[in-house]
Chains A and B, each alone.
Chain A
């Protein structure tokens, strides 16, 4: 079945440091890939997405590139801020057969803490 593996946390960085959160996946077919973010006390929000190989998703200074050859979708940001402190989830979505669901398969999440 489909699965997502992302690096274990927690990750603690100083403000303005470079961030990488690794994510690899296993899926049948050609999934769409997502990063979701969950800020403290809030619900899940879509951060960025990519729908085909070599696509780059970007938002709020975060980027991730869909690498089919390495089945990866690593999240990066060049300079993190305290406000980026949150839990980040990598997820995939594959096309269902027939009228099935577009359910998301999530990684276990990586907690990021950014200190001033």
Chain B
């Protein structure tokens, strides 16, 4: 079946502009994660959605970052007033989050490479 998809695959923007990154999780997966992969910081957790629960935003680096998940499926990560340090690959992952199962695997999308000039 289809895996996690992300769009666009590449995004180049100018400093100060807003960008939106999209994630389509695997159908039926209730948990969705955003991570950021950058040269200096490695892979960092950003935000987590589980069903209709309030998201875990503990990894968002600043209030310029926000995300939403509509209808429990597609998610959009928005970065406002982009800065050069936002340049990174943004990865989305989904998992079935079986209740009580700590071992549910996260399936990753191919990522969106964001370059802020």
- Chain A residues within CB distance 8 Å of chain B: 32, 36, 42-46, 49, 51, 89, 91, 93, 95, 99-109
Contact = CB atoms under 8 A, between A and B. Distances in A.
Interface of B: 3-4, 31, 33, 35, 42-45, 48, 50, 53, 56, 59, 91, 93, 95, 97, 102-106, 108-111
A68 B110 CA distance: 33
A43 B56 contact: no
Nearest to B92: A43
B55 to A, nearest CB: 9
12 contacts: A42-B110, A44-B93, A46-B106, A51-B102, A101-B48, A102-B31, A102-B104, A102-B106, A103-B33, A104-B43, A104-B106, A105-B45
A103 B106 CA distance: 9
B61 to A, nearest CB: 15
Given A42-B110, A43-B110, A45-B108, A102 B102 contact: yes
Nearest to B108: A44
